[in-house]
Amino acid sequence: MIEKPQPFVQPDTIFSVSDASALLKGVVETAFPRLRVRGELSQITRATSGHMYMTIKDSGAAISVIIWRGTPVSFKLADGMEVIITGRFTTYPARSNYQIIASEIEMAGVGAILKMLEERKRKLAAEGLFDAARKKPLPRFPGRIGIVTSPTGAAFQDIQNRLRERFPVEIVLYPATVQGVTAADEVAAGIEYFNRAKNVDVIIVARGGGALEDLLPFSEEVVVRAAAASQIPLISGVGHEPDWMLIDFAADVRAPTPTGAAEMVVPTKLSLIQELDNLWHRLSSNFTTRLTNARARIESIVVKSPKQLVMEQQQRLDDIARTMNIIINGKITAARGRMDAVATFPNILQAKMNALGQSVVHLGQMLNSLSYKNVLARGYAIVRDADDKIISRADGTVPASIEFADGIIKI
């Protein structure tokens, strides 16, 4: 429990406003030369002078905070971020309020940093900056490699050494701070520079390992967006194997370390020699096979004499003549058969006419045999009424005529 200080001003003392404010300022600054306050940031503003003004608060109170221009801040401040501010209390008499002059500011633990990174990751992923379809393949044999890192850092030396061991390649360095308040803007500027200049085949963004807070510039939106927008293939070689920054998701390839990035971008001399040897063996084998096949085809060719060629052509003509004779004789035989059939047509017609005449005679004989005249010749007669209808019953009908075989009698 904080002990309440004892009053040291006499109750009947009268001060001017300025004196009272100065007295209060002295008491506050003397009592709190240094303190650490944990809370949530809000109302962050940056003045044209470069100073930053904000409020740190919790559920019960709020305190104004000032960060003078030039005070190092290793990450980008945002509303809602939980931080620990180190500084001193002071007052501002013109507005009769108290405030903290911050000398240091840090995130309130790894948990708060990871929460902030996760929220930012979800936001950028929703914009499609981490989509696999955006990834570009690395060049097989880059001629120039652009590196964005600190020129004095171990990461740059490690990359140079590994490239020198593996493959001769030209290096173009864009110097950038990799820690602190300006790091993110400088790294993003390096990526954008290489894309404007188009003077390299691949870009490596590198930094050695460090605390999570030190690596935060590589998770700033300005860096992630620059990496995602790069038209040149980009490798992220930030930190060590367990470290994951948001640039890793936007880069085309993520390397576990800066040295690993150098290994990814160029092959080893030994691997190239082996690859060339394998290629030579494949080409040699293929050429030998083709040569053998060509020799076999040449050996299979038989060169014939002109006389033999003429004889073969004559034999072919003889075969064609025989085939034509067979075809023509067949057609002549078929035509002769059709002509013989036409010659026998009158005999066939006469026979058919005789047969038809006999059929007519036979039909006439049948007609005569079936005629009622033959019945009348045997003594029968036909009796008809006045309407010339045959009377077949004696039912009182008056006959009008009687027909006999030799004539008709009218009654």
Q: 224: helix, coil or strand?
A: helix
Q: Is the pLDDT of residue 14 over 80?
A: no
DSSP 135-152: --PPPSS-SEEEEEE-TT
Alpha carbon distance 17, 23 (integer Å): 10
- Give Cα separations from 325 to 320, 332, 335 (angstroms): 9, 10, 15
Percent of the residues in the chain that have a pLDDT greater than 90, as a whole number: 25
Query: Structural domain of residue 394, as residue ranges?
Result: 372-410
Question: In Å, how far from its chain's centre is CA 326?
Answer: 68
Given a cut of 60, whether residue 1 has pLDDT beyond it is: no
Domain check: are 85 and 158 in the same one? no
pLDDT digits (tens, 9 = 90+) for 202-228: 999 999 887 777 888 899 999 999 999
The phi, psi pair for 16, rounded to 5°, reads -75, 165
Residues 37/28, Cβ–Cβ less than 8 Å:
no
Do 225 and 260 belong together in one domain? yes
Domain count, the chain: 3
pLDDT of 272 reads: 62
DSSP 4: P
> Does one domain contain both 75 and 27?
yes
248-280 per-position pLDDT tens digit: 999 999 999 999 999 888 876 656 666 666 777
In this prediction, residue 166 carries a pLDDT of 82
Asked, for residue 147, whether it belongs to a domain, the answer is yes
CA torsion through residues 205, 211, 217, 219, sign: positive
CA dist 13 and 10 (Å) reads 6
pLDDT tens digits, one per residue of 97-114? 888 889 888 777 666 777
Strands 62-67 and 82-92: unpaired
- What tokens appear for 400 in the block? 């009008």
Region 81-99: what's the mean pLDDT? Answer: 82
Q: Do 406 and 385 fall within a single domain? A: yes
What integer pLDDT is reported at residue 3 of this predicted model?
63
* 38 and 108 Cβ atoms separated by less than 8 Å: yes
Q: Is residue 150 part of a domain?
A: yes
Residues 147 and 226 placed together within one structural domain of the fold: yes
pLDDT over threshold 70, residue 10: no
Cβ contacts of 68 within 8 Å, gap of 6 or more: 51, 101
Q: Which residue in this structure is represented by tokens 């890192």? A: 149
Q: How far apart are CA 155 and CA 257, in angstroms?
A: 9
Mean pLDDT confidence for 322-326: 87
Residues 262 and 146 in one domain: yes
Distance CA 212, CA 82 (A): 15
Radius of gyration of the chain measured on its C-alpha atoms: 60
CATH code, domain carrying 151: 3.40.50.2300
What the block records as the tokens of 8 is: 């040291």
Q: Average pLDDT of the chain?
A: 83
pLDDT tens for residues 115-130?
A: 778 888 999 999 999 9
* CATH code (residue 31): 2.40.50.140
Instruction: Report the run of H or E that residue 288 belongs to, with start and end.
Output: helix 269-299
- Residues 72, 120, single domain; the answer is no
- Count Cβ atoms below 10 Å from residue 124 Cβ, excluding itself: 19
